[in-house]
């Protein structure tokens, strides 16, 4: 009976710390926001990914502890900032180093740069504390002069397969658009049956992919993600060195896990499409589509319900045909003050409290959001002085309880980070 691998592997990504790991006699690993690997040959090294600029000195120290010979080629498995930011640091230390990337790398880096300010703000709830902690960690160890975050220009762009040999080891660089970016590459060592996949299927191995991120990103084609799973499965690897955390070992285990992931993606896709054609709403589908036990994968990074909504909107767009108001630039919040004036903030808070007591935390938050939006509205009718303070205190206490109740069931990195950030924000107002 299958015991899904996600149950035994960590989920959350973490920045580079000092201390690398030797995988075998010619491969070393430095864990980072995205793993970096160094493959040693008698004629130099091949490195996989460069980390963020701030991480590069730590990654280099970790990998050089095992293999200090020059880096001949640096393979970027995708264009995200945690893969490419340290490229210039490694170029400076390895004159003549060749940088290899997917042929859509420039487009992806331009897309990332275009929204860098937007995405930095939208990601802060999940990563601000990690950055504060790691900068303190680096400072304690004397690292305060950090390399700038690079936006590199690769030397070789791969659209299909690129084969080369170095020091007796054969390397195949294969372009495979995947779950996180459209410029993904995998590095395959055919003699050793080892595949470096980066984050081809998403951040943690064995989990349902994020078909759109709550930090804000482009929708990802579910069928393209499934094709990426198939591309790796066709290689029949005996080892996958993934973009996060430790290796995945064993041909049978890898075949089983990739088979389950491929089936899970197709199941959710097909069930969503069937529901759309049957006239089901996105919310009906989000609440009803669940994975069969034989396709069980983790939901610690992506979630099936989020995948359902991403697929629905990837195909159908933002207009859900539920209200004419969707077509206008007038949000529901614009009438929150009217609702509060008619129903009374106290009545809404009391009903939210009853919903919470019944175990419906999300409906409680819907009601509390109306109270919050009314208070934020310049047209809102506000209670005054002591009464206003009392209502706000009741609102915050209930909102915190609702978020805490949801957090207790949130076995997901992104959802958990969001709920914790909201609890923290609500507690600051006390």
Whether residue 223 lies inside any domain: the answer is yes
For the chain, how many structural domains are there in total? Answer: 2
pLDDT at 384: 54
What's the pLDDT at 1? 81
Same domain, residue pair 32 and 161: yes
Q: Is residue 312 part of a domain?
A: no
Residue 67 covered by a domain: yes
Do residues 371 and 249 share a domain?
no
Residues 68 and 156 in one domain: yes
Alpha helices (runs of H) in 52-115, residue ranges in sequence order: 56-64, 81-84, 87-93, 105-114
Residue range(s) defining the domain that contains residue 146: 5-262
Identify whether 273 is part of a domain.
Answer: no
Split the chain (430 residues) into runs of 10 and give each run's mean pLDDT.
94 95 98 98 98 98 97 97 97 98 96 92 94 96 95 97 98 94 97 97 95 93 97 98 97 98 98 98 98 96 97 97 96 95 96 97 97 77 65 94 97 96 86
Question: Quick check: is 288 in a domain?
Answer: no
Boundary (domain end) residue, out of 208, 242, 262 = 262
Nearest CA to 189 out of 225, 230, 237 is that of: 237
Domain stop point among 262, 294, 312: 262
Does any domain span residue 66? yes
Query: Phi then psi for 180, rounded to 5 degrees?
Result: -110, -40
Contact status, residue 37 vs residue 90, Cβ threshold 8 Å: no
Dihedral of alpha carbons 302, 308, 309, 312, sign: positive
Element (H, E) at 188: strand 185-189
Write out the two tokens for 67: 């293999």
The residue among 217, 235, 262 that closes a domain is: 262
Residue 338 lies in a domain: yes
pLDDT at site 385? 56
Same domain (yes/no): 252, 341: no
In DSSP notation, 103-162 reads TTHHHHHHHHHHTHHHHHHHHHHHHHHHHHHHHHHHHHTT---PPPPP----SEEESSEE
Is 152 a member of any domain? yes
> Are residues 258 and 337 both part of a single domain?
no
So what's the pLDDT on residue 380? 42
How would you class 130 by CB atoms within 10 Å of its CB: exposed for 0-12, middle for 13-18, buried for 19 or more? Answer: middle
């Amino acid at each position: 009976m299958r015991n899904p691998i996600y149950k035994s592997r960590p989920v959350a990504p973490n920045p580079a710390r000092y201390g690398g790991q030797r995988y075998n006699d010619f491969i070393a690993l430095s864990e980072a926001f995205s793993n970096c690997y160094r493959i040693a040959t008698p004629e130099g090294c091949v490195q996989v990914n460069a980390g963020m600029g701030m991480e590069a000195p730590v990654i280099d120290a970790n990998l050089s502890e095992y293999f200090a010979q020059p880096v001949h080629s640096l393979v970027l498995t995708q264009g995200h900032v945690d893969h490419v930011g340290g490229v210039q640091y490694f170029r400076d230390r390895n004159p003549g180093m060749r940088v290899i990337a997917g042929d859509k790398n420039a487009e992806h880096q331009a897309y990332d740069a275009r929204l860098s300010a937007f995405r930095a703000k939208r990601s802060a709830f999940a990563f601000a504390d990690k950055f504060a902690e790691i900068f303190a960690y680096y400072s304690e160890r004397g690292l305060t002069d950090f390399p700038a975050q690079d936006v590199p220009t690769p030397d070789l762009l791969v659209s299909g397969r690129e084969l080369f040999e170095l020091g007796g080891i054969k390397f195949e660089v294969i372009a495979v658009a995947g779950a996180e970016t459209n410029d993904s590459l995998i590095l395959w060592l055919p003699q050793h049956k080892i595949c470096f996949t980066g984050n081809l299927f998403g951040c943690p191995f064995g989990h349902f992919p994020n078909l759109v991120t709550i930090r804000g990103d482009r929708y990802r084609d579910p069928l393209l993600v499934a094709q990426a799973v198939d591309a790796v499965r066709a290689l029949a690897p005996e080892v996958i060195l993934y973009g996060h955390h430790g290796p995945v070992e064993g041909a049978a285990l890898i075949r089983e896990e990739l088979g389950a992931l491929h089936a899970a993606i197709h199941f959710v896709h097909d069930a969503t499409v069937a529901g759309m054609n049957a006239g089901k709403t996105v919310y009906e589908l989000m609440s009803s589509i669940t994975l069969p036990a034989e396709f069980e994968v983790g939901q610690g990074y992506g979630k099936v319900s989020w995948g359902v909504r991403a697929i629905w909107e990837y195909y159908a767009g933002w207009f859900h045909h539920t209200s004419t108001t969707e077509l206008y630039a007038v949000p529901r919040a614009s009438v929150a003050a009217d609702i509060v004036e008619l129903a009374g903030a106290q009545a809404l808070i009391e009903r939210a409290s009853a919903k919470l007591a019944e175990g419906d935390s999300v409906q409680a938050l819907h009601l509390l959001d109306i109270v919050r939006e009314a208070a934020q509205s310049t047209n809102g009718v506000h209670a005054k002085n002591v009464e206003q303070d009392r209502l706000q205190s009741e609102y915050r206490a209930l909102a915190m309880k609702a978020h805490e109740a949801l957090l207790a069931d949130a076995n997901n990195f992104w959802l958990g980070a969001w709920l914790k950030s909201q609890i923290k924000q609500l507690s600051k107002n006390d």
